[in-house]
Structure 1
Amino acid sequence: MKMIKKLLWLPMVIFFTGPTFGTERDSTEYLQPTAAHIKESKIIVQILDYFHYRETDLDDSLSSVIFNNFIETLDGNKSYFLESDIKSFEKYRYELDNRSKEGDLIPAFYIFNIYKKRVDARLEYALAHVTDKFDFDKKESLAFDREKEPYAKNVAELDEIWRKTIKNQALQLKLSGSEYDKIVDVLTKRYERFQSNVSKYNSNDVFEMFMNSVTEAFDPHTNYFTPLNAEDFQMQSSKSLEGIGATLQQDNDFTKITELRPGGPAFLSGEIQAEDRVTGVAQGADGEMIDVVGWRSDEVAGQIRGPKGTLVRLQLLPAGASPGSEMKEVMLVRDKIKLDESRAKSKVVKYTEGGIDYNFGIITVPDFYLDPEGYDQGGEDYTSTTNDVRKIIKELEAENVDGIMLDLRNNGGGQLVEAISLSGLFLPGGTVVQVKDSRAQIQKYDDENKGMTYEGPMNVMINRFSASASEIFAGAIQDYKRGVIVGEQSYGKGTVQNVRGLEDFLRQKSEDKLGLLKFTIAKFYRVTGSSTQHKGVTPDIEYPSVYSADEFGESSKPSALPWDKIASADFKTLDYVDQNMLSMLEKRHKQRLKEDQTLIDLQEDISELRKNRARKYISLNYDERKKEQDDFEKRKRDRELKATVRIGDSLDDASSSNGRSLADMKDAYLKESIKLLADQIVIKKKRG
Structure 2
Amino acid sequence: MLRKILLLIIVSLGSSVPVFAKNAVKPGISVSATPLKPTETQEVAGVYISQYLLRNHFRKIAVNDSLSQEIFNRYIDNLDGSKNYFVASEVDSLRKIYGTQIDDEFLVGKSTAGFSIYNFFLKRAKEKMRFMKAVVDTAHFNFSKPETLALDNKTAPWPSDKSLLRDVWRKELKYLWLNMKYSGEKKKPIRTTLSKSFTTRLNLLNRQKPEDAFQAYNYALTTSFDPHTSYFSPDEYKNFQIDMSRSIEGIGAKLQTEGEFTVVAEIIPGGPAFKNNLLKKGDKIIGVGQGKTAAVVDVTGWRINDVVKLIRGKKGTTVSLKILPASQSGRGPSKTIHLLRDKINLEEQAAKKSIFLQNGQKIGVITIPSFYLDFEGEQLNTGNYNSTSRDVIKLLNELIAEHVQGIVIDLRENGGGSLEEAVKVTGLFIPNGPVVQISSSTGRTTVLDDEDGGVLYNGPLAVLVNRYSASASEIVAAAIQDYGRGVIIGERTFGKGTVQSIINFSRPVPGIENQPDLGEIKLTIAKFYRVSGGSTQHKGVVPDISMPSIIDTSAIGEDTYPSSLPWSTISPSVYQPTGDVSAAEIDILHQKQQDRSSKDPLYQSYLNDLGRLDQIRKKKSVSLEDSAFKTEIETMKKIEDQWIKETDTDKNAKAVKKDVLLDQSASVVSDLSLLKKGAK
Q: TM-score, normalised by structure 2?
A: 0.91
Tell me how far 1:295 sits from its aligned partner.
Answer: 4.2
Residue 522 of structure 1: aligned partner: 526
Native 8 Å contact 1:431 1:446 kept in 2: yes
Structure-2 change in CA distance of 1:392 and 1:123 (3 Å):
same
Structure-2 change in CA distance of 1:633 and 1:502 (3 Å):
closer
Residue 427 of structure 1: aligned partner: 430
Q: For residues 410 and 479 of structure 2, what CA distance do their matches in structure 1 show? A: 15
Q: For residues 224 and 662 of structure 2, what CA distance do their matches in structure 1 show? A: 39
Tell me how far 1:96 sits from its aligned partner.
Answer: 0.7
Q: For residues 633 and 462 of structure 1, what CA distance do their matches in structure 2 show? A: 25
Matches for 1:37-436 after TM superposition, within 5 Å: 37-90=42-95, 91-131=97-137, 132-176=139-183, 182-287=189-294, 290-319=297-326, 321-322=328-329, 324-347=331-354, 349-353=355-359, 356=360, 358-377=361-380, 381-436=384-439
Letter in 2 for 1:10: I
Tell me how far 1:444 sits from its aligned partner.
Answer: 1.2
Residue 483 of structure 2: aligned partner: 480
Tell me how far 1:57 sits from its aligned partner.
Answer: 2.5
Residue 470 of structure 1: aligned partner: 473
Structure-2 change in CA distance of 1:13 and 1:212 (3 Å):
closer
Q: List runs of 5+ in structure 1 lacking aligned partners.
A: 644-654
Residue 454 of structure 1: aligned partner: 457
Structure-2 change in CA distance of 1:683 and 1:264 (3 Å):
same
Q: For residues 33 and 291 of structure 1, what CA distance do their matches in structure 2 show? A: 29
Q: For residues 431 and 508 of structure 1, what CA distance do their matches in structure 2 show? A: 52
CA-based RMSD of the aligned residues comes to: 2.9
Matches for 1:560-575 after TM superposition, within 5 Å: 560-575=564-579
Letter in 1 for 2:436: V
Structure-2 change in CA distance of 1:291 and 1:114 (3 Å):
closer
Q: For residues 552 and 501 of structure 1, what CA distance do their matches in structure 2 show? A: 30
Residue 18 of structure 2: aligned partner: 19
Structure-2 change in CA distance of 1:190 and 1:364 (3 Å):
same
Q: For residues 76 and 260 of structure 1, what CA distance do their matches in structure 2 show? A: 27
Letter in 2 for 1:84: S
Q: For residues 508 and 486 of structure 1, what CA distance do their matches in structure 2 show? A: 61
Native 8 Å contact 1:546 1:610 kept in 2: no
Q: For residues 242 and 322 of structure 1, what CA distance do their matches in structure 2 show? A: 29
Native 8 Å contact 2:85 2:121 kept in 1: yes
Native 8 Å contact 1:549 1:555 kept in 2: no
Given candidates 602, 624, 645, the residue that maps to 2:628 is: 624
Verify: 1:555 aligned to 2:559, yes or no. Answer: yes
Q: For residues 165 and 6 of structure 1, what CA distance do their matches in structure 2 show? A: 45
Native 8 Å contact 2:558 2:564 kept in 1: yes
Matches for 1:652-671 after TM superposition, within 5 Å: 661=653, 665-671=657-663
Q: For residues 284 and 375 of structure 1, what CA distance do their matches in structure 2 show? A: 40
Q: Which moved more, 1:590-599 or 1:438-447?
A: 590-599
Q: For residues 65 and 510 of structure 2, what CA distance do their matches in structure 1 show? A: 30
Verify: 1:9 aligned to 2:8, yes or no. Answer: yes
Aligned to 1:452, the other structure's residue is in SS state coil
Q: Which moved more, 1:272-281 or 1:321-330?
A: 321-330
Q: Which moved more, 1:465-474 or 1:298-307?
A: 298-307
Tell me how far 1:271 sits from its aligned partner.
Answer: 3.5
Residue 608 of structure 1: aligned partner: 612
Q: For residues 687 and 205 of structure 1, what CA distance do their matches in structure 2 show? A: 65
Tell me how far 1:613 sits from its aligned partner.
Answer: 0.8
Q: For residues 620 and 537 of structure 2, what CA distance do their matches in structure 1 show? A: 30
Deviations 1:218-277 (A, max 9, x none): 000000011121121112211112111112222233321112222212223334321111
Native 8 Å contact 2:363 2:408 kept in 1: yes
Aligned to 1:455, the other structure's residue is in SS state coil
Letter in 2 for 1:628: E
Q: For residues 167 and 302 of structure 2, what CA distance do their matches in structure 1 show? A: 23
Q: For residues 520 and 630 of structure 1, what CA distance do their matches in structure 2 show? A: 43
Count of residue correspondences: 659
Q: For residues 54 and 521 of structure 2, what CA distance do their matches in structure 1 show? A: 13
Q: For residues 639 and 421 of structure 2, what CA distance do their matches in structure 1 show? A: 44
Q: For residues 412 and 508 of structure 1, what CA distance do their matches in structure 2 show? A: 45
Letter in 2 for 1:593: S
Q: For residues 372 and 631 of structure 1, what CA distance do their matches in structure 2 show? A: 47
Deviations 1:538-594 (A, max 9, x none): 111110233454421100100000000111111111131012221111112112331
Letter in 2 for 1:554: E
Given candidates 580, 584, 588, the residue that maps to 1:580 is: 584
Q: Which moved more, 1:422-431 or 1:538-547?
A: 538-547
Aligned to 2:349, the other structure's residue is in SS state coil
Structure-2 change in CA distance of 1:619 and 1:323 (3 Å):
farther
Aligned to 1:570, the other structure's residue is in SS state coil
Tell me how far 1:103 sits from its aligned partner.
Answer: 3.0
Deviations 1:423-455 (A, max 9, x none): 111110001011110011111111111011122
Deviations 1:159-191 (A, max 9, x none): 111111111111222334667981111111111
Q: List runs of 5+ in structure 2 lacking aligned partners.
A: 22-31
Aligned to 1:493, the other structure's residue is in SS state coil
Aligned to 2:610, the other structure's residue is in SS state helix
Native 8 Å contact 2:184 2:335 kept in 1: no
Letter in 2 for 1:670: L
Aligned to 1:514, the other structure's residue is in SS state strand
Native 8 Å contact 2:149 2:624 kept in 1: yes
Deviations 1:202-224 (A, max 9, x none): 11111111112111110000000
Q: For residues 610 and 557 of structure 2, what CA distance do their matches in structure 1 show? A: 18
Q: For residues 655 and 80 of structure 2, what CA distance do their matches in structure 1 show? A: 49
Letter in 2 for 1:407: D
Structure-2 change in CA distance of 1:310 and 1:21 (3 Å):
farther
Q: Which moved more, 1:594-603 or 1:28-37?
A: 28-37
Q: For residues 41 and 687 of structure 1, what CA distance do their matches in structure 2 show? A: 65
Q: For residues 339 and 13 of structure 1, what CA distance do their matches in structure 2 show? A: 22
Given candidates 489, 494, 499, the residue that maps to 2:497 is: 494
Q: TM-score, normalised by structure 1?
A: 0.90
Tell me how far 1:395 sits from its aligned partner.
Answer: 2.0
Q: For residues 352 and 611 of structure 1, what CA distance do their matches in structure 2 show? A: 33
Given candidates 653, 676, 686, the residue that maps to 2:668 is: 676
Structure-2 change in CA distance of 1:634 and 1:476 (3 Å):
closer
